Amino acid sequence: MSEMLERLTRERIVAIFRGVEDRYADEAARALIDGGIGMMEITMNTAGATGLISRWREKFGAEAAIGAGTVLDLDMAKEAIAAGAQYLISPNLDESVVVYGNEQGVPVWPGCMTPTEIVRAWKAGAEAVKIFPMASLGVKYLAEIRAPLDRIPMIATGGVDLDNIADYFNAGACAVGMGSKLVNLTWAREGKFDLMTARAKQFAEAARGL
């Protein structure tokens, strides 16, 4: 198990920053870190994503692992790693991205839906996979595929909230990816960073208390 995968399974939550405006970004990240969230994913379709990754590595690197999300292809993977991303997450499986990440010492957790995709990703060298879209597939789907594929760590992304987070872990997820339920950009724009910290603390406690 790589150091980053070990961290993922310990932290249990990846906060997904998609579309965050630069002027709110640092305070939003700080708010989540203060609430106990230690893994940040900046999606590559966020304006200025690579600049944010570089800046957060410098500002928050001692407290949080900074990764890139929505890494669709090899070119994006190269950009993200050059910016300092410590892990790559995608909604899709591109084996060339997995291979490149491994060559660079950066873990890649690709998005998969079917058992065939999950095993393909694992054989390509992915230590873990992101099951997506989890909100549509449902927690029962996760439990079913975990039965035969229990050797492969799975990150459940989509549909997680305080009421059901325990269900995802009980179904076998090693971690969950969380976007707007955790990274509330409306609160960030309104300067309500205390609310973001309080929400983060609730999720962090729910995840680690299981």
123 catalytically annotated: no
CA atoms of 89 and 43, how far apart (whole Å): 9
CA atoms of 137 and 56, how far apart (whole Å): 33
41 catalytically annotated: yes
C-alpha torsion 185→186→189→192, nearest 10: -100
Give the pair of three-digit tokens for residue 94: 């591109």
Catalytic residue of the set 21, 130, 140, 205: 130
Give the pair of three-digit tokens for residue 49: 């994503």
| H/E element, 195 | helix 193-208
Q: What burial letters (b/e) apply to 120-144, b meaning 16+ CB within 10 Å?
A: bbbebebbbbbbbebeebebeebee
* Count of CB atoms situated within 10 Å of the CB of 69: 29
Determine the 3-state secondary structure of 176 from DSSP. Answer: strand
Catalytic residue of the set 6, 27, 41, 192: 41
CA atoms of 128 and 110, how far apart (whole Å): 8
Residue with tokens 């549909």: 159
With vertex at residue 101, the alpha carbon angle to CA 82 and CA 151, rounded to the nearest 5 degrees, is 145
Active site residues per annotation: 41, 130
